[in-house]
Amino acid sequence: MTRGYFTKHYTESARVAAAVRHHWWLIEHARTLSLPALGVIGPKSLSFQWIKGRPARPEDLPRLAQLLGDAHGTAWASDLHAADLHVPHRFDDGTEFADYLGPRTAALRKRLEQGYLPNKVALHAMLALLEKTAEGPTVFYKDSNPRNFLVTETGALFTVDTDDLTLAPAAYDLAKLVATLLLTYGPLPRTAIDAALAIYNAAAWRHDSRLGATDRDRLDDFLALHAVLTAPYLGRNGYLYGWPPDFPRLRG
């Protein structure tokens, strides 16, 4: 390991190429994010700048909501305003962001096979909810969970683990952050979630008036999707808490 860097290994060279392309895309189109510097690019490995910091905590939610709103607004204005949630976003070198519906449709079907959905009726309800949310401005999803943000001793905030990006509606990634914070640290006050959504909307809206319109019902739809998609990880990866009793469910 090079001093000041850590090496991440991949199973195939195509994964390396995609991770590199996504890293540079974020630097170009989501300039408000601070990413670790990319070092040596190997056939099946990458080295990244070592960042000493702690993972995000619930008290960081307002700051992270601001960061995500700015990053999504910047990327939308720079590149994603012409993207379609239903179609992969392709780059000149052949790499791409997956579309919004495809990967999540496959994941929901897998959750039925794994027993995390009780029957096909529940699956069809989740697929209908997924289709319902596939509208509005297109931004990106980077799996915003507490471990993918590092806060240094000086207060600097770094975004890490950006290998896999997909397209997503505005605030879908904010919902993932809210979901994983409560799974990691326990229930969050509704007022804290509402405040984070307002901060996110204001930050995104500053980049274009077509952004920043996500309401709480729509955020709850995203949270309901994340509840199923994250189900296999409960009790693992630091997700020590279950969903609160009043967690949003599918509305009839």
Residue-wise pLDDT tens digits, 204-232: 999 999 999 999 999 999 999 999 999 99
CATH number of the domain that residue 130 is part of: 3.90.1200
Is pTM beyond 0.85? Reply is yes
Residue 120 lies inside a defined structural domain of this protein: yes
Residue-wise pLDDT tens digits, 36-73: 999 999 999 999 999 999 999 999 999 999 999 999 99
Residue-wise pLDDT tens digits, 151-204: 999 999 999 999 989 999 999 999 999 999 999 999 999 999 999 999 999 999
Q: How many domains does the chain have?
A: 1
Three-state SS sequence of the chain: CCCCEEEEECCCHHHHHHHHHHHHHHHHHCCCCCCCCEEEECCCEEEEECCCCEECCHHHHHHHHHHHHHHHHHHHHHCHHHCCCCCCEECCCCCEEECCHHHHHHHHHHHHHHCCCCCHHHHHHHHHHHHHHCCCCEEEECCCCHHHEEECCCCCEEECCCCCCEEEECCHHHHHHHHHHHHHHCCCCHHHHHHHHHHHHHHHHCCCCCCCCCCHHHHHHHHHHHHHHCHHHCCCCCCCCCCCCCCCCCCC
Residue 216 lies inside a defined structural domain of this protein: yes
Residue 74 lies inside a defined structural domain of this protein: yes
Task: Give the structural domain span for 206.
Answer: 53-233
Which pLDDT score is estimated for 245?
Answer: 75
Which pLDDT score is estimated for 213?
Answer: 94
Residue 36 lies inside a defined structural domain of this protein: no
Residue 8 lies inside a defined structural domain of this protein: no
Residue 194 lies inside a defined structural domain of this protein: yes
Residue 154 lies inside a defined structural domain of this protein: yes
Which pLDDT score is estimated for 10?
Answer: 94
Residue 12 lies inside a defined structural domain of this protein: no
